[in-house]
Amino acid sequence: MLTWIIAGSLAIAAPGLKDPPKPKAPVGRFTIDRWEVDGVVVNRPDLASYVMRHEATSVTLELNGRDVKSETVTFSEAGGVGQADFRSEDGSPAKKAIWKLEGDTLTICESEAGGERPTDFSSGHGSKRTLWVLKRIKD
């Protein structure tokens, strides 16, 4: 009888199976490695001067150390996929995105404002998507 009581106590106190870890917000400073809009790669000579600063609830674009544009962002997860909703200060509808962080590379694929959330990391011609490939700046 004592054996059953101890076994039952251990079973009740044992930790349950953990859910898989949810993606954390990709916080940090990143350079722009690739920028693609609606299937067209943007090749601007000043691109190397830009930095994207990701914080838990905002993303700020910097140019030569000065803030240029900022958006609020809500990071979440669905089915193991990182999701983000970017909102600008002008009140336009959110840009829905998916994201992944692999090592120091952050990839974000976002819709146009008010568009459907992408299901893959592509921005083919006519998709009205933007693809960002960013590299973490190691401070």
Q: How much is the pLDDT for 25?
A: 81
Beta-sheet strands, E only, within 55-94: 58-63, 66-78, 81-87
pLDDT over 80 at 23, yes or no: no
Is 86's pLDDT higher than 70? yes
Residue 91 pLDDT level (bands cut at 50, 70, 90): confident
- Class level of CATH domain 22-136: mainly beta
Please say whether the beta carbons of 26 and 101 come within 8 A.
yes
**Does the pLDDT at position 132 exceed 80?**
yes
What is the rounded CA–CA span in Å between residue 39 and residue 37?
Answer: 5
List of residues 6+ apart from 74 with CB closer than 8 A = 57, 84, 85, 87
What's the pLDDT score for residue 103? Answer: 94
